[in-house]
Amino acid sequence: MDKPLRIVIAKPGLDGHDRGAKVVARALRDAGHEVIYTGLRRTPAQIIETVRDEDALLLGLSSLSGAHGHLFPRICETLRENNMGDVIVFGGGIIPEDDRSALFQAGVKAIFGPGTSTEEMVAFIETAVERNDAGVGSDTDWHWTGLS
């Protein structure tokens, strides 16, 4: 990448475990990107506000509480409602295989589970940014494959 990307990492809902989100934030910073970590227990509205205020191109969501099935789609929907459909959303945490299809349909472009390498996340980001149609508002139906 020629210039650093602005990436927000957020913990939606009541999930109080943020070690993974902090590891991801640090890895993306080490890869040369500008990363804004929202902290714990953020509402979808707070997350969208941060993405807008920070002019972020990517949004990483982390969930270990099981609320991903409600919160991730709500955040994607709210991005579209606020004319922010170009934001690329990716998620991580404890997200069962059976739940992933619905998240992809909602607009999430990648799900990273435990054990995913930081190199794989950086490769996803570079690939997603190279695609100009990658945001939650795009009509293309693609998602990152080769996930751990």
pTM for the full model?
0.92
What pLDDT is recorded for position 11?
93
CATH of domain 6-130: 3.40.50.280
What pLDDT is recorded for position 82?
96
What pLDDT is recorded for position 148?
45
Map out the domains of the chain as residue ranges. Answer: 6-130
Higher-confidence position of 17 and 110? 110
What pLDDT is recorded for position 134?
66
Q: Do the Cβ atoms of 6 and 54 come closer than 8 Å?
A: yes
